[in-house]
Amino acid sequence: MSDTVTAFAPASIGNLGVGFDMLGLALSGGAGDRVIAARSDTPGISIEEVRGLDGEIHPYLSTDPRENTASIAAQSLWDAAGATGGASLKVHKGVPLQSGMGSSAASAVAAVVAVNALLDEPLETAGLLPHALAGEQYASGGLHADNVAPSLLGGLVLCPTVLLPEVVRLPVPAGVSAVLVHPELQVNTAHARRGLARGYSMEQWLQQQGYLAGFVAACMAGDIDLIGRTLRDVVIEPQRAGAVSCFENVKEAAMRAGALGCSLSGSGPSIFALCEERKGLNMASAMEQACLALGIECQSWVSPLDAEGARLET
């Protein structure tokens, strides 16, 4: 048990195109949130500060512990552990808000990992998932683990709601990279979710289900060709693409550069592609160029598929 600990939790790609609400991939490359937790005499979880990418006090995020995914997640763990006294959090956001990169999930995950290290009897990592989910639920308005699970555990995770809190780490094929481009646009996840159609035809969902089942099989078999034939979203992407003005151009650029598939990360505006490792840098450049050509600033990351999950920092 320490008095002050720092945890880092990476950004992540929710849905991964083919697996709405149930598939997610951790990102490497340094995009992530940090939470510094310290024992405090005030009972329960409090927030000392929330800082943004620029190191300044965050202009939007609340330090009210009832209104921040980090503190809600940490409080859930604190209560479950029956811990006495309190803990105070410093939340340092490294993942841009409403970017489709799992910003709220990264805060929730970093918070539970940090606070867990303050407990007399810390839980196993997998046991932290329900608490991180409690925080994420506040932000997204639903019980979806597709950002929380990969941010916590790393790599590629299958996490359908029907199996929660159990999740399945999927093996990933060697030699494949994820490229993520974050255009300087914002999409509100909860709002994007409310905009989705409520009714669907059987044909539509059987198509999507077929792609997802095939994608899972492809990952487990290390079959890169099959990944290329199954990394598709025919249900959600068509409904959301219009809200991200650069999407079609960026996707076209990615596919032309040889992507195995390309779709929105979460509800966007970030856009990801999977591709053979050797094409990663070129892919990032092609996608960025397509964005810039429309006058939209952007940032990109290239990540292996087996990126590390959340961890304590010394």
Question: Contact residues for a copy of itself (CB under 8 A)?
Answer: 19-23, 158, 160-163, 166, 168, 170, 196-202, 205-214, 216-218, 220-221, 226, 229-230, 232
The alpha carbon of 93 is separated from its chain's Cα centroid by a whole number of angstroms, namely 14
Joined together, the tokens standing for residue 49 give 């500060």
Between CA 304 and CA 138 the distance in angstroms is 30
Residues linked to residue 14 through DSSP beta bridges, in sequence order: 24
Q: Which is nearer to a copy of itself, 41 or 202 (CB)?
A: 202
Q: Which two tokens stand for residue 117?
A: 């290290």
Cβ 234 to a copy of itself shortest distance, Å: 8
Nearest CA among 51, 132, 139 for reference residue 91 = 51
* 200 burial type by CB count under 10 A (0-12 exposed, 13-18 middle, 19+ buried): exposed
For residue 33, the cross-strand partners are: 9
Question: What are the two backbone dihedrals, phi and then psi, of residue 164, each rounded to the nearest 5 degrees?
Answer: -60, 145
Instruction: Say if residue 166 is exposed, middle or buried (CB neighbours under 10 Å; 0-12, 13-18, 19+).
Output: exposed
Burial 252-261 (b: 16+ CB within 10 A, else e): ebbeebebbb
Residue at 155: amino acid letter? G
Nearest approach, Cβ of residue 167 and a copy of itself (Å): 10
Nearest distance, CB of residue 290 and a copy of itself, angstroms: 27
* Closest separation in Å from C-beta 149 to a copy of itself: 13
- CB nearer to a copy of itself: give 22 or 253: 22
Cβ proximity of 119 and 29 under 8 Å:
no
Distance in Å, CB of 18 to a copy of itself, minimum: 9
For the CB of residue 199, give the shortest distance to a copy of itself in the complex, in Å. Answer: 5
Our CB check for a copy of itself shows the closer of 193 and 311 to be 193
84 vs 201, which CB is nearer to a copy of itself? 201
Nearer of residues 25 and 283 to a copy of itself, judged by Cβ: 25
- What is the CB neighbour count within 10 angstroms for residue 308? 13
Looking at the Cβ atoms of 30 and 142, the one nearer to a copy of itself is 142
- Looking at the Cβ atoms of 166 and 248, the one nearer to a copy of itself is 166
Smallest distance, a copy of itself to C-beta of residue 36, A: 36
